[in-house]
Structure 1
């Protein structure tokens, strides 16, 4: 048995159609499987878990920040492992360890009490340190490694149709992420937060078996070509050979930093907004239901933008998307600044919808288009560290802005200043493949 097919009953060469479409489905499910390690999945557990552990909201948020920051320092290394061993084994171990972490989280109260008893101390420091470590594992395995490896695998199996394929994946992922809080909340209501995490962990263990069966690193391992093209077919259009950049070479280009920074900004703003959405709207005398209601139009815009821009990405220059993301960030920032007015809500919805939709395109399609497929893991792993760091500091920075100045609107002065820098710096961005 080929080493690329070890421990599996599935042979890509024997499929009646191009195996990349199987990769598309299972890879998209893999991104959805990372939800327990994403902010959207963690936030639903915030109140019951912090109360059970005896932590304040600030203590819980700071533990989340510490765990997320720690994971950012290791996710780049995971990208290197992706390049060396491929998506199959990296994603497999990420799913296994994410499931184990959720099982430990489900008994965190018992573990915390036992440690307190052993140390003969009754302090918030014990549960704080414990969940900081657990947050590190679920953020590293979920938001970091499982997401990166699943998304990169899909991109490696396609080239010419990469944008179209990513549009299909993005629709499913967007719908899954937007609806996941509803399902997780119902799970908690019916079974409690401890059992809910155990149920999700079991699902991850089952999915890890599916990873071994269906995940495949690249089409060349099975004498296949990206998109399913056959060498026997005469293709009269001559395509310039793709250049693969190492991480060090990519870091020497302006595009790497500009794209990385705008993706990090997206993560910062959306994470901070999502984490405090009820409080942000309450500060302007809106109800909780009104606050939650904004996610529906944001999701609709995001799905529409993602679908259209993914398809167009096969034909247009990707730097256009960078400019649109910057403008979208400006709209969202002004929306938060003028949230007390109706125009502010519209600006916020439009800005966040555009940002979310374009994030799904740029973070998946642009990297292989600009830097090739060979070192995709190390490059996207490094960028993932930017994204993770931004998502880590956002909730605390939003919170301290509110507690210090009495309004979330002051955070916009920071975001607008950063966006002005990006507008100027991004003017000379170009595709390194065309250099």
Structure 2
């Protein structure tokens, strides 16, 4: 009990309301705080930073890809840290590392010039290597560790009401992430790209203090249980003691682990590739840039609506239904990509990636604690996170390779259809291991 609240003056057992709602709020803010390490937060800096460093767009993108891939290879270790040390310490150090990474990014030109002088080499390789390392730090600490620790903590504090609280969190995150390019751009225009990154770094350091005070690992450590039942004898009131607690190797031995993990990875691959090349994709079919950009607003509306409704229903429905609805969304999006110039193209594409995004928000939070228990949740979600990060890293170059090889993005539509049909058949027996 003492160690679980070390360095914190906040005692959940004395909270006038169930402390899980505080966890829900601060955990959601924690995922917001990962924005500087997310693609949507980095993309606003692309043009001014690459120009200042003397990198081409391809060089800058490749540095981002390599840094992301490397982070995906070791993110599983962070999941083990989560299980061993808990959400408080893991999220605290992730926020500190992310703040340092953002701060170093603001000094990237100075660091690059220093090493150029030290090595007596005026070459693009110096800023390329520096940005690759900084992107690794950003992606590992931001998209990876801070996001995973914050989401897992919320899920651990709830059981029967997971769907309802995830509905709130999903809606808040959708609006927070979708608005982030706007306010980050305001910071850049007002303070320059270096000043903007420095402001974000200071904000992350302040947030790290609140992580240490308000993040709490498990309700049982404070005489509470998930959903708010208070007891002096935790062992008599814990409603999840009969749930099988799967280790990562045991979870990987189930079909459900791979089927749900693969559909979530496909979503990351498709959405990242689409967002990265959307202007080129639409331009290759005769559409304007405005037409390309305009698809994201209705897609976001579909995603928020789906995630809100089905998060609430997830406390009562089997998640396998959600798996097949997400596969159906992927099929729609793939058909939309194939027949983009036709009357069904854009509606299918928008509806498809909206459905996938909505069900992603549900399944990525709900599946793992419900199917495999809470004891090894960090290791399991860390492995899944590595799938998602790797898929998002591979998408831009594979989309680009497809277009340069076939002068069209349509082969990716056929590839998506084939993969999703396979996934649909293989998922027939992907039942809840519990």
Shorter-chain-normalised TM-score: which range? over 0.9
Q: TM-score scaled by structure 2?
A: 0.96
Match of residue 375 from structure 2: 374
- The CA distance in 2 between the partners of 1:191 and 1:107, in whole Å, is 14
Match of 1:197 in 2: 197
Change (3 A) 1:201 1:342: farther
TM-fit CA distance, 1:189: 2.1
Cα contact 1:43–1:275 (8 A) shared by 2: no
Q: How does 1:244-263 map to 2 (within 5 A)?
A: 244-263=245-264
Matched ranges for 1:304-383 at <5 A? 304-383=305-384
How many angstroms does 1:284 deviate by?
A: 2.6
Residues of 1 paired with 2:212 and 2:389: CA distance? Answer: 27
For the residues of structure 1 that align with 2:396 and 2:377, how far apart are their CA atoms?
Answer: 29
**Could you tell me how far 1:258 is from its partner in structure 2?**
0.4
Cα deviation, 1:92-146, whole Å, max 9, x if unaligned, reads 0001000100111111111111111111112111111111111100000001000
Look up the match of 2:149: 149
The 1-side partners of 2:418 and 2:293 are apart by 28
Structure 2 counterparts to residues 385-404 of structure 1, below 5 A: 385-404=386-405
- Quote the residue 2:68 is aligned against: 68
User: Following superposition of structure 1 onto structure 2, how do residues 253-332 of structure 1 map, counting pairs within 5 Å?
Assistant: 253-332=254-333
Alpha-carbon distance in structure 1 between the residues aligned to 2:200 and 2:240:
45
The alignment's C-alpha RMSD in Å is 1.7
Instruction: Provide the residue aligned with 2:90 in structure 1.
Output: 90
Aligned to 1:52: 52
Asked if the contact 2:223–2:230 (Cα under 8 Å) also holds between the matched residues in 1, the reply is: no
Whether contact under 8 Å (2:333, 2:348) holds in the other structure is: yes
Query: How far does the alpha carbon of each residue in 1:228-272 deviate from its partner, in whole angstroms, 9 at most, with x for none?
Result: 024599x9xx98821110001001100000011001000000111
Give the equivalent residue in structure 1 for 2:218: 218
User: Hey, what's the Cα distance between the residues in 1 that align with 2:334 and 2:18?
Assistant: 44
TM value normalised by structure 1:
0.96
Q: Distance in 1 between matches of 2:86 and 2:221?
A: 11
Alignment partner, residue 102 of structure 1: 102
Match of 1:137 in 2: 137
Residues paired across the two proteins, number:
431
Aligned to 1:427: 428
Rounded Cα–Cα distance in structure 1 between residues aligned with 2:197 and 2:343: 39
- Please report how far the alpha carbon of residue 343 of structure 1 lies from its aligned counterpart in structure 2 after TM superposition: 1.7
8 Å CA contact 2:95, 2:146 repeated in 1: yes
